[in-house]
Amino acid sequence: MQTDLSRKLGIEHAIFGFTPFPAVAAAISRAGGFGVLGAVRYTAPDELARDLDWMQEHVDSRPYGLDVVMPAKKVEGVSESEVEAMIPEAHRQFVKDTLGKYGVPELAEGEASGWRITGWMEQVARNQLDVAFDYPIKLLANALGSPPADVIQRAHDHDVLVAALAGSARHARKHADAGIDIVVAQGYEAGGHTGEIASMVLTPEAVEAVAPLPVLAAGGIGSGEQIAAAFALGAQGVWLGSLWLTTTEADLHSRALTEKLLAAGSGDTVRSRALTGKPARQLRTEWTDAWDDPDGPGTLPMPLQGLLVAEAVSRIQKYEVQALLGTPVGQIVGRMNSERSVQVVFDELTRGFERAIDRVNRIAGRD
């Protein structure tokens, strides 16, 4: 599964694997792909440094990258506490009532509420970059549009390629104009923040819009046959995220959540603003249904929604409240029906790719 881009980066397969788990990212790189570690959950620079140290020791000198979240718009001079003060009391009460309805226990006194979604604040991402550029990363990806111009320049000064996710050809052109190196065309099927255009339509539109820049296809891809289709549409690689959630190297800290993912079908996800305030595909649960109910208060814009629900999500996950328990995941969850190692996933992707190529060659009379 080689392309010009994979050869440029020195990887065996043009498979870019996004994951919040260092062990998964390292395994992807060792398997011949390109592991990309998601940084949004790292609010302390020393925590990111610790995991990048670990990555360095476990990638077997293979290349890897980092994914940050830098919003296209920022608010200057506003602290997290000032932002949190903007949350209406009615929304706080709605969270309290919903958790009470399902009997979700409180956290122990003094217990931290877990990950707070502050990574949407630009300064947090800039602090992450201060750490990341001390490591030999080969790619910097941004999940919310093009990074600021000075960040792109800083990455290029370190010989780091810059990628940005796009949900439309218009977004892709804006990224190209901003000077990024790779466009990730993320279709409607994808997990997490995603737009409204399906991958089969979006990929060739993005390829045409930004040629000759390389495009990675993302969203709804979880087999070698689908990778072959992405290449046929002009992509120079694929960007896979959801597929790794049920690998043996992943650490979801919840057996109940893993089992829920394994049991889910491709129709068991929903695009909801419940988690961050922006549309994000995730498992459909009673929690997402509550926020999407027209009789409810509705979600708040980013980053208010993420700050509002951070403790609630931590409680739901800690106590594994089945009806409310969810996670961002794409429609490919319907194929994620067994736990396998990252290497086994790569082996299956490779075999599926070969089957697809053989099939096309037979159709074309080249067998």
CB 33 within 8 A of CB 44: no
For residues 179-213, one letter each, b for 16 or more C-beta atoms within 10 angstroms of the residue's C-beta and e for the rest, the string is: ebbbbbbbbbbbbbbbbebebbebbbbbbebbeeb
Query: Looking at per-residue confidence, does 219 or 76 come out higher?
Result: 219
Q: pLDDT tens digits, residue range 248-261?
A: 999 988 899 999 99
pLDDT at 81 (0 to 100)? 76
Whether residue 76 has pLDDT greater than 70: no
CB 273 within 8 A of CB 366: no
Q: pLDDT tens digits, residue range 33-57?
A: 999 999 988 888 999 999 999 999 9
Whether residue 270 has pLDDT greater than 80: yes
> In angstroms, rounded to a whole number, what is the distance separating the alpha carbons of residues 361 and 367?
6
Residue 192 tokens read as 């997490």
CB 327 within 8 A of CB 252: yes
Q: Considering the chain, what is the average pLDDT of its residues?
A: 93
CB 6 within 8 A of CB 14: yes
pLDDT at 108 (0 to 100)? 85
CB 13 within 8 A of CB 33: yes
Measured on CA atoms in the order 306, 100, 287, 250, is the torsion positive or negative?
positive
CB 253 within 8 A of CB 316: no
Residues 6+ away with beta carbon under 8 Å from 321: 102, 103, 104, 315
CB 345 within 8 A of CB 336: no
Whether residue 100 has pLDDT greater than 80: yes
> In angstroms, rounded to a whole number, what is the distance separating the alpha carbons of residues 196 and 155?
30
Whether residue 323 has pLDDT greater than 80: yes
Find the range with the poorest average confidence among 2-6, 66-70, 285-289: 66-70
Whether residue 196 has pLDDT greater than 70: yes
The DSSP call for residue 209 is H
pLDDT at 122 (0 to 100)? 73
Is this prediction's pTM over 0.85? yes
Sheet holding 280-283, edge to edge: 192-193, 280-283, 269-272
Q: Which residue has the tokens 């800690």?
A: 318
Local confidence band at 78 (pLDDT 50, 70, 90 cut-offs): low
Cα 254 versus chain centre, distance: 19
User: What Rg value do the Cα atoms of the chain yield, rounded?
Assistant: 20
pLDDT at 290 (0 to 100)? 97
pLDDT at 145 (0 to 100)? 82
Local confidence band at 83 (pLDDT 50, 70, 90 cut-offs): confident
Q: pLDDT tens digits, residue range 232-250?
A: 999 999 999 999 999 999 9
Q: How far apart are the first and last CA of the chain?
A: 19
Residues 6+ away with beta carbon under 8 Å from 349: 1, 13, 15, 223, 224, 227
pLDDT at 119 (0 to 100)? 47
